[in-house]
Structure 1
Amino acid sequence: MGGTRIVVGYTANDSGADALALATRLASASEALLDVVMVLPSEARNSVVPADAGYERHLKERSRRWLAEASASLGDDVAQSLHVRYAESFAEGLIAAAHEFGASLIVVGAARGGILGRSRIGSVAGELLHSSDVPVALAPAGSREVPAAQGVSRITTAIGTRPGADALLEASVALARATLAPLRLLSLVSIDLPAGMDEGLAELTSTVHADEVLLTARRALPTGIEATAEVAEGPTIEDAVRGLEWHAGEIVLVGSSRLATPHHLFLGSTAAKMLRELPVPMIVVPRTAASGATS
């Protein structure tokens, strides 16, 4: 991942600090350039009245001051670049910046009011997860408390029960190589039984299928990439996630839903359920035209 760029959507609040902390940790671990972006409303730029022009200058100066303060907090360990951009929405501005810089990842914080250590999807993340063609990382509340030196301790890739996880595996392998982190392939077995179905038979069928999916994924890994494989079980996705071991510096990758248009994101129901319980950051990877769903 060295030589690549990461865009972080910065706001001068706790959510922005969480996003900046996660982005810094990822950039430091992968030797990527960090583009810190503040997005201002486009109407502020389209002013024709002198008073509005003064307001635009005020907004831009304040934004640059906040960016400078954020930059100073990063120290000299991470190569960084600071930007102010205008757009109709924060998400639109971040996607445009990612295209402009050729970034491989967009990082945003969870919505304010989220539970410590968990992600809650706010309007910005929600729009990104429905429109971005660039992978999106969600920083849980409290990410700012995790030191950058923590690095990336492990990458867990949630392999879905449908074939076509090529893009997700490629992104996982690239991140594992860039951060020198071990890779864990994970299959979540959620047993939401239809009425009247034999519980033992359903559990057996589901577990066998999960094992097959993991085996197929391991075989698809390039030479030299080792990965552990684990089947998580529970009566619900949330129970399965809670029952797993998570490292402090772990990152989870999931693929976008089959409902997504090719090369774009859409957070599937499995990933959304995972997100509510995950104590670590999640990266959502767009599917490709050739691939199927992974969540």
Structure 2
Amino acid sequence: MRYVVGYAATERGRDALNLACALARSQGASLDLVMIDPEQSPYAAVYPPERSYATLLAEQLGAWLDEALAMVPEDIEARGHIRAADSDARGLIDAAAEFGAGLIVVGAGSNGLFKRYTVGSVANALLHAAHVPVALAPYGYSRTDPITRVTCAVGERRGAEDVLEVGAASAAQRGLPLRLLSLVALASSESAALDEARLHVADRVAKAETLTRGRCQVTGEVAQGRTIENAVDNLDFEDGEIFIIGSSRLALHNQLFLGTTASKVLRSLPVPMVVVPRGYMGTPSTAGTAERPAAPAPQTGEPQ
């Protein structure tokens, strides 16, 4: 299992590296740290490129990459790569395809409040074009210890099944607690809507218990607020938690697109978010976190 880390010698790059280490430790993955060397362009600062400039740039990128690899804990396998691309997002997407990676990890924009998100240009481009899940590290993320809990947003729209399967696989592989969450925006306590949300969560919990086969604890919760942001604010999160959510129903098949609900969640979320492409079928190392669990064997109930 391999994760691609979009690294830059900035606070945003360090946030991404810290999150990647935490995820790798939780899932037994290795890391591919990728720095992008901008391709020659008439819009570049130096064009046509001078040999001395190209040499200095290559040396600097190599030095930054060596510094990043030195920050990776010894118990995590990591490799460094410098790739030429016309954009950071394209370079990371191509690297993920080449390595068969199950996740791309990037940092949030650097001008956000501490441990909050402002999606920068690279993350925004990935969230519109990536074909594998993308993990976003909130600003100031410093944790490298293993992930301790997986929370999954389980709505009723198309794509929710993909998110449930990814969350179940992620939690089951390492026996992490799995919390299934329904976010409800209500101006008042409308019992009918809340009852419907509770029934939906209970159904998803039953499905998750089938998928995980007792390998992790599964719970369900309905979070209510006047807005989605309020509902998220009312939740308790662990420091080592990740939040998994699906793409907009407007996204193309097996492609990401940050929908309205996910965008609202980002405004209040204090923990890393993993966005799953619509119709995601996984790679040999799926979900950025785990392979999907096999279907239950009808005769023995044991993993296939």
Q: TM-score range by the shorter chain?
A: 0.7 to 0.9
The answer as to 2:220 corresponding to 1:229 is yes
What code does the residue aligned with 1:154 have?
A: R
Q: CA RMSD in A?
A: 2.1
Alpha-carbon distance in 2 for matches of 1:208, 1:288: 28
Name the residue aligned to 2:298. Answer: none
Name the residue aligned to 1:94. Answer: 92
Alpha-carbon distance in 1 for matches of 2:241, 2:56: 40
The match for 1:167 among 162, 168, 184 is 162
The alignment partner of 2:80 has SS state of strand
The answer as to 2:209 corresponding to 1:209 is no
| 1:56-205 to 2 correspondences below 5 Å | 56-144=54-142, 146=143, 148-149=144-145, 151-162=146-157, 164-191=159-186, 203-205=190-192
Alpha-carbon distance in 2 for matches of 1:67, 1:209: 51
Alpha-carbon distance in 2 for matches of 1:58, 1:217: 54
What code does the residue aligned with 2:167 have?
A: S
Identity of aligned residues (%): 47
What code does the residue aligned with 1:23 have?
A: A
Residue 62 of structure 1 and its aligned partner are, at CA, apart by 0.8
| 1:272-287 to 2 correspondences below 5 Å | 272-287=263-278
The answer as to 2:246 corresponding to 1:251 is no
Name the residue aligned to 2:291. Answer: none
The alignment partner of 1:11 has SS state of coil
Residue 242 of structure 1 and its aligned partner are, at CA, apart by 0.5
The answer as to 2:51 corresponding to 1:53 is yes
Unaligned residue ranges in structure 1 (runs of 5+): 193-198, 291-295
Alpha-carbon distance in 2 for matches of 1:179, 1:117: 26
Name the residue aligned to 1:293. Answer: none
Q: Is the 8 A contact 2:162 2:280 kept in 1?
A: no
Residue 251 of structure 1 and its aligned partner are, at CA, apart by 0.2
Name the residue aligned to 1:195. Answer: none
Q: Compute the TM-score of the two structures, normalised by the length of structure 1.
A: 0.88
Q: Deviations over 1:16-70 (max 9, x none)?
A: 00000000111112110100000111217xx9x8952332222121111101011
What code does the residue aligned with 2:173 have?
A: A
The answer as to 2:71 corresponding to 1:43 is no
The alignment partner of 1:64 has SS state of helix
Q: Is the 8 A contact 2:132 2:280 kept in 1?
A: no
Residue 289 of structure 1 and its aligned partner are, at CA, apart by 7.6
The match for 1:6 among 3, 7, 10 is 3
Distance 1:69 1:289, change over 3 A: closer
What code does the residue aligned with 2:85 have?
A: A
The answer as to 2:220 corresponding to 1:220 is no
Alpha-carbon distance in 2 for matches of 1:37, 1:181: 29
Number of matched pairs = 275
Q: Is the 8 A contact 1:161 1:210 kept in 2?
A: no
What code does the residue aligned with 1:40 have?
A: D
Alpha-carbon distance in 2 for matches of 1:231, 1:75: 37
Q: Deviations over 1:199-249 (max 9, x none)?
A: 56xx22321221232123223221225410000001111111001000000
Residue 115 of structure 1 and its aligned partner are, at CA, apart by 0.6
Residue 163 of structure 1 and its aligned partner are, at CA, apart by 5.2
The alignment partner of 1:229 has SS state of strand
The answer as to 2:20 corresponding to 1:23 is yes
The alignment partner of 1:43 has SS state of coil
Structure 1 ranges of 4+ moved more than 4 A: none
Distance 1:227 1:40, change over 3 A: same
Residue 166 of structure 1 and its aligned partner are, at CA, apart by 2.1
Residue 121 of structure 1 and its aligned partner are, at CA, apart by 0.5
Which structure's residues are more often helix, by fraction?
A: 1
The alignment partner of 2:222 has SS state of strand
Distance 1:50 1:129, change over 3 A: closer
Unaligned residue ranges in structure 2 (runs of 5+): 282-304
Which region of structure 1 is more displaced relative to structure 2, 68-77 or 156-165?
156-165
Alpha-carbon distance in 2 for matches of 1:51, 1:5: 34
